[in-house]
Structure 1
Amino acid sequence: MELDEAITKRTSVRYFRDEPIGEETIKTLVEAAVRAPTASGLENWLFVVFQSEEARRKVFDLIAEGMVEYYRAVNLPEDKIGKLKRRLYEEGMYRAPAYIAVFIDRRVRFLKGEQFDEVEFIWSVESAAMAIENLMLKAVELGLGTVYIGVTNFKGIEEKVLQLAGLDENHYLVGLIPVGYPKDEPKPRKRRKGVEDVVVFL
């Protein structure tokens, strides 16, 4: 598969087949991820794979909790939140055979001193985000689907993800990625904005 095809085909997949993913396949995804640029060459990322039935159930419940909080934050009525819950618990939206949580270790940094705290944090998050994109593109090549989950960063939820991962507050969750074989044929959506809307030449 050419890179252009992988980029074009990548889309958010929210429904997955109940088919396990082998450990070697997961490692292949992470191998692609760690080829991403990393600020100051620190490689201060960590990939925690939730694959056991119990771990996946707990992660799924945290995603569901975050999605409900997200819907309430944008003032959606309770009947729509009820529909969301049905999609989650009855239709299995976001229920995947594996979840890959991508963390950064705040203690691993290049520049010392409080004046660099913010920029070091930003660089680390950017590095992990680029790793996530590599992982997602590799998943397309392997016929897998992925989706980026950000709602697990809500206060009270991220702490539970950290606890499940066996990590402390020195780590920050950059993203949680459900991974699996798509239940239906993925249909990438056209972007609302074209190149001419988002690029400036000076």
Structure 2
Amino acid sequence: MELGDAIFGRTSVRYFSEREVPEEQVRALIEAAVRAPTASGLENWLFVVFKSEEARERIYTLIAKGMEAYYRAVNLPEEKIEKLRERIYREGMFRAPVYIAVFIDRRVRFLQGKEFDELEFIWSVESAAMAIQNLMLKAVELGLGTVYIGVTNFPGIEEEVRELAGLDGNYYLVGVIPVGYPRGEPKPRKRKKAFEEVSKFI
């Protein structure tokens, strides 16, 4: 597979088959992830793989809770929230055989001093985001589907994900990535904005 095929073939997959993802493929995803650029060479990321039935059920419930919080935050009517619940609990949206939570360790940094706290944090999140993209592109090559979940960062939910991962408050959750074989044929969507709208040549 050419890199361009993976880039343009990647799309957010929200429905997965029950087929198990082999451990060697999960390892391949993380090995691809850690080849991403990392600010100051710190590699201060941590990938926590949730595969047990109990852990996956807990993560699934937290994602559903986060999605509902997101819908309420944008003031969607109750009937739309009810449709969301139906897609999640009846249709199994976001239910995956593997979840990978990506954290950064905020104690690992290059520049010392409070004046650099925000900058170091941004650099660390950017590094983790690039790692997530590597992971997602590798997933396309392996025939796997992924989707980025950011709603697990709502207050109260992030703490529960950290607790499930056995981590303390020094770790920050960048996102949770459900991983599995797509239930249907993935169909990449076109971008809403044209090239000219998102680029500027000087």
After TM superposition, list the pairs within 5 Å mapping 1:39-50 onto structure 2: 39-50=39-50
What is the TM-score of this pair, normalised by structure 1? 0.99
Structure 1 consecutive aligned stretches of length 4 or more whose deviation exceeds 2 Å: none
SS at match of 1:100: strand
Letter of the aligned partner of 2:182 in structure 1?
P
What residue is the counterpart of 1:140 in the other structure? 140
| Number of residue equivalences | 202
Deviation, 1:135, is 0.1
Q: For residue 46 of structure 1, give the secondary structure of its aligned residue in structure 2.
A: strand
The one-letter code matched in structure 2 to 1:140 is V
CA distance in 2, matches of 1:199, 1:122: 23
TM-score (ref. length: structure 2): 0.99
* Counterpart position of 2:182: 182
Shift of 1:5: 0.4
Alpha-carbon deviations, 1:67-124, whole Å to 9, x = none? 0010011111111111100110110000000000000000000000001000000000
Deviation at 1:195, TM superposition (A): 1.5
RMSD (Å) for aligned C-alpha atoms? 0.5
Instruction: After TM superposition, give the deviation of residue 22 of structure 1 in Å.
Output: 1.4
Counterpart Cα distance in 2 of 1:21 and 1:56: 13
For structure 2, list consecutive stretches of 5 or more residues without a partner in the other structure: none
1:34 aligns to what? Answer: 34
**Pairwise CA distance, 1:64:** 0.2
Q: Which amino acid aligns with 1:3?
A: L
Extract unaligned runs of 5+ from structure 1. Answer: none
- Please state how far the C-alpha of 1:193 moved relative to its aligned partner: 0.9
Q: How does 1:38-117 map to 2 (within 5 A)?
A: 38-117=38-117
Q: Alpha-carbon deviation of 1:196?
A: 1.1
Q: Secondary structure at the match of 1:178?
A: strand
Match for 1:33: what amino acid? Answer: A
Aligned to 2:171: 171
- Alpha-carbon deviations, 1:45-81, whole Å to 9, x = none? 0000000000000000000000001001111111111
CA distance in 2, matches of 1:195, 1:142: 29
Q: Mean Cα displacement is larger for which, 50-59 or 71-80? A: 71-80
